[in-house]
C-alpha cells in the first residue's frame, strides 16, 4: 500500500538508527553482570512500543529477566495477532574474533553487524516499526499484542508461568514470530517446524586428585580418554545415534514429504565452500536438508579437562566434562530423551570411573500448519513484497516457547523469519542485511491485512 511505503521511505534512516540504539544495549541474558542491561533493554522496548502506538505496555517482572507485554486494541470485531520476540542476546565471546565491537553496531556493505542484529533484536524490532507504520497511517486491521521476553537464549524458564498467569490477557487468534531464517532474498521461505532440544552435562571422575602422569599413568584410567571414548561411541559408523531407544518415537517422513523437502533450492557445493569444509557429514541415508531439518542430532557443545594453559604439564587429571545437546523432532520428548541419554551414558561407563549426568533446559519440537488462514496470510504477504511464493522449509533451530503457546494458550504459530542461515547468529560478527530488515517491516503490515481479510 502506498501510504505504508511512503511512510517507510520517509523514515528509513530513523528505523535503522533506532535499531542501532537497541543493539548498543548489551542485554546478555546468560551473564549476571549484564542484569542492569537486560532491565534497561526491557525499558527501551517498552518505550518503543508506546511510541509505535501501543495503548499500554507493562514490564512484567519474573524470577529472571522481565517480560515486556504490550497491547494495542483497535476493535472487538477484529482478529488479534500476538507477536512474540526476544530482546535478550547470546554472550558475545570470544570478543577477539569480532571485527567491530559486538555492541557497537556498524553498517558495512548493506549489513548491520552487532550481537542481536538478527537474533532477535533486528527481527523483533521489525514488528515494532510495522506497528508504527500501521498506527501512523490509521490502517491497523487487527488488534495487536506483544510479548517480548528476555530469557529466550537461556531457555525461557519463566515464560511458561507468565503464559499461565496472563492466559486471559493473552487471548489471540494466532502467534506471529520472526526469529527464524529464510533461504535467501531470491528464494523467500517460511519455516514450518522447529526442532526440540535436550541439553545435558556430563562429568567423568577417575582418581580422587590430579596425578603425575608418569608416576601413575598406565595403571589409572584417564578420565579424558574414557570420556572421549564414550563420546565417540555415541555415533555409529553410519553416524546414527547409539543412545538406546533414541529413535523409537521419531516420525519418519513419507516419501512425498521427503521429495517436497528436498525441492528447496540448496547447493551442497556452495554450502561446504562457504563453511570452508571439504565435505558435509551426517546420518547415512539422508540429505543435508533432512539432517538439519527433520532428523534428530547429537552434538558436543563443549568439552574440558586437564591442563590447557601455556606450555606442557604432565598431568593425569582427576576429571573430565562435556556439554552435549540433542536436537529433537516430532514425536520425541525432551525429558524422555534426557532419561534415555542418562541411562545409556551410565551404562556405557567403565568401572574405573564415576559418571554424573545432569539435565539443563530443553524444549519440545513443533510443526506449524501450512493449511491455516495465518499461514496463507503469511504466504500472500511474502508473495506481495517479494514477488514470489515462499517455500515451506523445516528449521533446525529451537524456540522452546512455541510448543507452550499451543499447550497453554491453544494458539498456533507462524514463523515468518527474515534472517539468513549465514547471519552468524550466536557467532562472532553476527549481522542482519539491512534489506532484509526493511523487507520484514514492509511485509508485516500485509500479514495483518490479509489475516484480517481472510478471517472475515
Does position 181 interact with ligand BES (CB under 6 A)? The reply is: yes
From candidates 57, 78, 133, 197, binder to ligand BES by CB under 6 A: 197
Q: Tell me phi and psi for residue 314, to 5 degrees.
A: -85, 95
Q: Which of 456, 454, 453, 449 lies closest to 144 in space, CA to CA?
A: 449
From candidates 399, 402, 404, 414, binder to ligand BES by CB under 6 A: 399
Q: Residue with the closest Cβ to ligand BES?
A: 397
Instruction: Tell which positions 62-121 bind ligand BES, by CB under 6 A.
Output: 119-120
From candidates 37, 151, 153, 379, binder to ligand BES by CB under 6 A: 153
From candidates 132, 173, 179, 433, binder to Mn ion by CB under 5 A: 179
Count of chain residues binding Mn ion (CB under 5 A): 3
Does position 152 interact with ligand BES (CB under 6 A)? The reply is: yes
Stretch that binds ligand BES, among 34-42, 225-233, 301-309, 391-399 (CB under 6 A): 391-399
From candidates 85, 102, 363, 392, binder to ligand BES by CB under 6 A: 363
Stretch that binds ligand BES, among 261-269, 366-374, 381-389, 396-404 (CB under 6 A): 396-404
Q: How far apart are the C-alpha atoms of 61 and 152, rounded to whole Å?
A: 15
Asked whether 435 and 185 are in contact (CB, 8 A), the reply is yes
Q: Which three cell numbers stand for residue 242?
A: 547409539
Q: Cβ contacts of residue 293 below 8 Å, gap of 6+?
A: 193, 195, 261, 393, 394, 395, 396
From candidates 83, 158, 180, 385, binder to ligand BES by CB under 6 A: 180
Does position 364 interact with ligand BES (CB under 6 A)? The reply is: no
Q: Cβ contacts of residue 371 below 8 Å, gap of 6+?
A: none
Q: How far apart are the C-alpha atoms of 84 and 402, rounded to whole Å?
A: 9
From candidates 88, 120, 173, 191, binder to Mn ion by CB under 5 A: 120
Pairing of strands 196-205, 354-363: antiparallel
Q: Which three cell numbers stand for residue 45?
A: 522496548
2-23 vs 35-52: helix crossing angle, rounded to 10: 160
397 touches which of Mn ion, ligand BES, none (CB within 5 to 8 A by kind)? ligand BES
Q: How far apart are the C-alpha atoms of 372 and 380, rounded to whole Å?
A: 12
CA dist list (Å): 445 to 48, 82, 128, 433: 17, 14, 11, 20
Asked whether 153 and 89 are in contact (CB, 8 A), the reply is yes
Q: Would you say 150 or 363 has its CB closer to ligand BES?
A: 363
Does position 433 interact with Mn ion (CB under 5 A)? The reply is: no
Reduced to 3 states, what is the DSSP secondary structure of residue 132? helix
398 touches which of Mn ion, ligand BES, none (CB within 5 to 8 A by kind)? ligand BES
Residues 257-296 vs ligand BES: string with x where CB under 6 A? ----------------------------------------
| Residues near ligand BES (CB under 6 A) | 119-120, 152-153, 155, 179-181, 194, 197, 361, 363, 395, 397-400, 425
| Residues near Mn ion (CB under 5 A) | 119-120, 179
Amino acid at each position: 500500500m502506498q501510504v505504508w511505503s511512503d511512510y517507510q521511505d520517509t523514515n528509513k534512516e530513523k528505523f535503522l538508527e533506532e535499531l542501532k540504539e537497541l543493539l548498543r544495549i548489551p542485554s546478555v541474558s546468560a551473564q549476571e553482570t549484564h542484569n542492569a542491561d537486560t532491565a534497561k533493554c526491557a525499558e527501551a522496548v517498552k518505550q518503543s512500543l508506546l511510541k509505535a502506538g501501543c495503548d499500554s505496555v507493562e514490564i512484567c517482572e519474573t524470577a529472571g529477566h522481565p517480560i515486556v507485554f504490550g497491547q494495542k486494541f483497535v476493535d472487538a470485531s477484529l482478529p488479534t495477532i500476538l507477536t512474540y520476540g526476544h530482546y535478550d542476546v547470546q554472550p558475545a565471546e570470544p570478543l577477539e574474533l569480532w571485527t567491530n565491537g559486538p555492541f557497537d553496531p556498524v553498517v558495512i556493505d548493506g549489513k548491520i553487524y552487532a550481537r542481536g542484529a538478527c537474533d532477535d533484536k533486528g527481527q523483533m524490532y521489525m514488528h515494532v516499526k510495522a506497528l508504527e507504520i500501521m498506527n501512523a497511517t490509521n490502517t491497523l486491521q487487527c488488534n495487536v499484542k506483544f510479548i517480548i521476553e528476555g530469557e529466550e537464549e537461556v531457555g525461557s524458564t519463566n515464560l511458561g508461568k507468565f503464559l499461565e498467569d496472563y492466559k486471559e490477557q493473552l487471548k489471540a487468534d494466532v502467534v506471529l514470530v520472526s526469529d527464524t531464517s529464510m533461504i535467501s532474498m531470491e528464494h523467500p521461505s517460511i519455516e514450518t517446524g522447529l526442532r526440540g532440544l535436550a541439553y545435558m552435562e556430563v562429568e567423568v571422575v577417575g582418581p580422587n586428585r590430579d596425578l603425575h602422569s608418569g608416576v601413575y599413568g598406565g595403571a589409572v584410567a584417564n578420565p579424558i580418554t574414557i570420556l572421549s571414548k564414550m563420546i565417540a561411541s555415541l555415533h555409529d559408523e553410519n553416524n546414527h545415534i547409539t543412545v538406546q531407544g533414541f529413535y523409537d518415537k521419531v516420525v519418519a517422513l513419507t516419501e512425498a514429504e521427503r521429495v517436497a523437502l528436498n525441492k528447496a533450492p540448496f547447493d551442497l557445493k556452495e554450502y561446504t565452500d562457504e563453511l570452508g569444509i571439504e565435505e558435509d557429514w551426517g546420518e547415512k541415508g539422508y540429505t543435508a536438508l533432512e539432517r538439519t531439518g527433520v532428523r534428530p542430532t547429537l552434538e558436543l557443545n563443549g568439552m574440558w579437562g586437564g591442563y590447557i594453559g601455556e606450555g606442557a604439564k604432565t598431568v593425569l587429571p582427576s576429571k573430565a566434562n562435556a556439554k552435549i545437546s540433542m536436537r529433537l523432532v516430532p514425536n520425541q520428548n525432551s525429558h524422555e530423551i534426557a532419561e534415555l541419554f542418562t541411562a545409556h551414558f551410565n551404562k556405557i561407563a567403565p568401572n574405573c570411573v564415576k559418571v554424573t549426568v545432569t539435565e539443563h533446559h530443553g524444549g519440545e519440537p513443533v510443526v506449524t500448519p501450512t493449511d491455516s488462514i495465518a499461514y496463507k496470510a503469511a504466504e500472500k504477504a511474502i508473495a506481495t513484497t517479494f514477488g514470489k511464493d515462499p517455500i515451506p522449509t523445516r528449521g533446525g533451530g529451537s524456540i522452546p516457547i512455541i510448543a507452550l503457546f499451543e499447550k497453554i494458550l491453544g494458539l498456533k504459530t507462524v514463523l515468518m523469519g527474515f534472517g539468513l542461515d549465514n547471519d552468524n547468529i550466536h557467532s562472532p560478527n553476527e549481522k542482519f542485511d539491512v534489506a532484509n530488515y526493511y523487507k520484514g517491516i514492509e511485509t508485516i503490515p500485509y500479514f495483518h491485512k490479509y489475516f484480517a481479510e481472510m478471517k472475515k
